[in-house]
Amino acid sequence: MFNILEKRFALTRKGAIDFSKGIFFTTLLNIALMLPAIYVFLFLEDYLRPIFNHSGTTITPTNGLWYYILLGIIFMIIMWIIARFQYRSTFTTVYEESANRRISLAEKLRKLPLAFFGEKNLSDLTSTIMDDSTELEHTFSHAVPQLFASIISIVLIGTGMFFYNWQLAIALFWVVPLAATVLLISKKLLHKEFQDTYQNKRNVSEQIQEGLDTIQEIKSYNREGTYMNELNQSLNIYEKQLIKGELLAGGLVNSSQSLLKLGLVSVIIVGVQLLSAGTINLFTYLIFLVIATGIYNPISEVFNNLAALFYLDIRINRMNEMEALSIQQGKTDFKPQNFDIVFDDVSFSYETGKQILQNVSFTAKQGEVTALVGPSGGGKSTSVKLAARFWDIQKGKILLGNQNISEIDPETLLKNYSVVFQDVVLFNSSVMDNIRIGRKNATDEEVIQAAKMAQCDEFISKMPNDYNTIIGENGETLSGGERQRISIARALLKDAPIVLLDEATASLDVENETKIQAGISELVKDKTVLIIAHRMRTVANANKVVVLKNGKVAESGSPDELKKQKGIFSKMVERQML
């Protein structure tokens, strides 16, 4: 049963167990809430039934007033105790499950290959972790346990009423399956409308996120009016779809609830006939009339919660889709013989039919600098990222120290890599904290030493609070060269045996490039270095050059050897010397 609940509602095992407890105690609470009605029934039967006695004799109540006062107190205590357990098993545990769900999703994302993030945008993932989880939290605390508990308690109460008087019970409950059938038949239609509403909401979120990410380009090209018009159109579509969905759901639920009202009419008609025939007495008739006025309220809540569950299905399906994604995993016991990186007949594509690398083979030896050069789109950046298992290849092998990296846990593998990309990501924290990302347990003195080796100390010393200066979101208070040097300082601090450099100096001026080259020279000493660069001066001192063109190795050898071949590399050098 727990396995079914886990899959159906995207719960953890503990969440499924707590969910079952929530249904149990909510059912008890629903039954306990009938205690006041039972209390009134017992009191009236004891004190008022004599009024309807036609024997002419006086009947004394069985129990005194103090008995009913004490019984009322006992009923209230029972209801209070059950309510306490119900709140703990429904609300508190749901919030704990929601927190665990967000952590579980974050852990799942952490272990997914980067290919997944290339197919998803930020607003989509944020919405899944925050909005979807919040909606699940709200619905599971206010609707789903109550739905199941109401169904169970109504069945139990209905069964008891059938034993009390089956004719009136049928008159009371015949409308329930009819009303439920109307709602269940409409499930497919409701699901489609909810799906469209959800997708339109997601489109609006993505458009707003895109506007925030590209605000500079929007302003630079006077696209504010166009962007706002497109956003307004998306909002109008979402608003219309939302109204349509709400009207449809509300109309169907209200139609089902309207059918329930026919039950009261049938109780009145059937009760009068039975009363006239002498089959029941007036007291029994009045009891069923009182129950009929209140029994349909929890049934109406069932229909409301059922509609909420239909909408919840869309979010649950998204959760289950993410949980079903294949994660990158492997052995954590990794002791390479050396730190040579070997590409052995590697082929890779981001998507079907779009091949990026085809049968690529080369070796980046420990203690040497291996440079990847060639025309744009040749597969250089892809090769560097594959070397660190940011993606998994489709064919061939990538070996590190004679071990296949596809069999090694990514986090274990990346402990051996220092990576410096062209696009540096910094955090809204101090310079010290941003550099310490390279090694979290580094001392302040070690951080400062790494910063000096990366030529950072010069500009950091001019900041208001030196290394404690907050640099803003993504280092917005720094220049491109300063941000790049902080990235190199991180790599120096990590001091990993393998260094990956992807276009680290491509967009910098000569002065900043010279400073960063000094930092890189410190970084690559005695390491396995895989470097990408378009500027030939960057690879002049490389031990080996691999020329990639159209996803294939076109040339390979030392810079001097390739110059003599008068091939692609030689032409690139000549063009840059003009």
Contacts of residue 260, defined as CB under 8 A and 6 or more positions apart, other chains included, come to 175, 176, 179, 296, 299, 300
Nearest-10 Cα torsion for 15, 98, 390, 380: 150
Instruction: Tell me: do 276 and 394 sit in the same domain.
Output: no
- Residue 75 neighbours by CB distance under 10 Å: 15
Q: Which two tokens stand for residue 523?
A: 């970084």
| CATH number reported for the structural domain that contains residue 48 in this entry | 1.20.1560.10
Would residue 392 count as lying in a domain? yes
My answer on whether 139 and 45 are in the same domain is yes
Sequence-distant (≥ 6) Cβ neighbours of residue 555 within 8 angstroms: 545, 546, 547, 562, 565, 567, 568, 569
Domain boundaries, position 202:
2-323
Backbone angles phi, psi at 499, to 5 degrees: -125, 125
CA distance 190 to 309: 11
If one counts every other C-beta atom within 10 angstroms of the C-beta of residue 64, the result is 10
Nearest residue to 415 via CA among 356, 341, 470, 335: 335
Please tell me the predicted confidence (pLDDT) of residue 328: 82
Same domain, residue pair 265 and 405: no
Q: Of 261, 290, 323, which residue is a domain's last?
A: 323
Handedness of CA 133, 136, 142, 146 (dihedral sign): negative
Same domain, 359 and 388: yes
The H or E element that residue 546 is part of is: strand 544-549
Q: Would you state the pLDDT for residue 361?
A: 93
How many domains, the chain?
2
Structure tokens at 222: 């006077």
Q: Which of 204, 182, 181, 200 is nearest to 192 (CA)?
A: 200
For residues 280 and 411, state if they share a domain.
no
Pairwise CA distance, residues 351 & 356, whole Å: 9
Same domain, 289 and 346: no
Within-domain flag for 508: yes
What is the sign of the dihedral through the CA atoms of 357, 363, 368 and 373? negative
Domain match, 316 and 386 both: no
232 with 354, same domain? no
Indicate whether 514 and 390 sit together in one domain: yes
| Within-domain flag for 336 | no
Does residue 61 sit in the same domain as residue 23? yes
Indicate if the alpha-carbon torsion angle 430, 434, 440, 445 is positive or negative.
negative
The two structure tokens encoding residue 166: 């089956």
Residue 197 lies in a domain: yes
Cα end-to-end distance, the chain, whole Å: 75
Q: Is position 376 within any domain? A: yes
User: Which CATH number covers residue 569?
Assistant: 3.40.50.300
310 falls within a domain: yes
Residue 420, classed as helix, strand or coil, is strand
Give pLDDT, residue 578.
54
pLDDT score recorded for residue 479 = 82
- In tens digits, what is the pLDDT along the chain, a chain of 578 residues? 677 766 666 677 777 777 788 788 888 887 787 777 777 777 777 766 555 555 555 556 677 778 888 988 998 998 899 888 888 877 778 778 778 878 878 788 888 777 677 666 666 677 777 777 777 777 777 777 777 777 777 788 788 888 888 888 888 888 888 888 887 777 777 778 877 887 888 888 888 878 887 888 888 888 888 889 988 998 998 888 888 887 887 787 778 878 888 888 888 888 888 888 888 877 777 777 777 777 777 777 777 777 777 777 777 777 777 777 778 888 888 888 889 999 999 999 877 667 789 999 999 998 888 999 888 888 888 898 899 888 888 899 999 988 999 999 988 898 899 888 877 888 888 999 999 998 888 999 999 988 888 888 888 988 888 889 998 877 788 887 888 888 888 888 898 999 888 766 555 566 666 666 666 777 677 789 898 877 777 777 788 999 998 889 998 988 888 888 888 888 888 877 65
The answer on 144 and 10 residing in a single domain is yes
How many CB atoms lie under 10 A from the CB of residue 301?
Answer: 16
Ranges assigned E (strand) in 411-497: 417-421
Give the pLDDT of residue 60: 63
Distance (Å, whole) CA 274 – CA 167:
9
pLDDT for position 433: 92
Looking at 323, 350, 368, the residue that finishes a domain is 323
Length of the chain, please?
Answer: 578
> Could you count the other beta carbons within 10 Å of the beta carbon of residue 96?
14
Looking at the structure, do residues 357 and 448 belong to the same domain, yes or no?
A: yes
Model pLDDT, residue 197: 81
Determine, yes or no, domain membership for 368: yes
Last residue of a domain, one of 323, 355, 372: 323
DSSP 8-class letter at 577? H
Residue 285 inside a domain? The answer is: yes
Structure tokens at 17: 């167990």
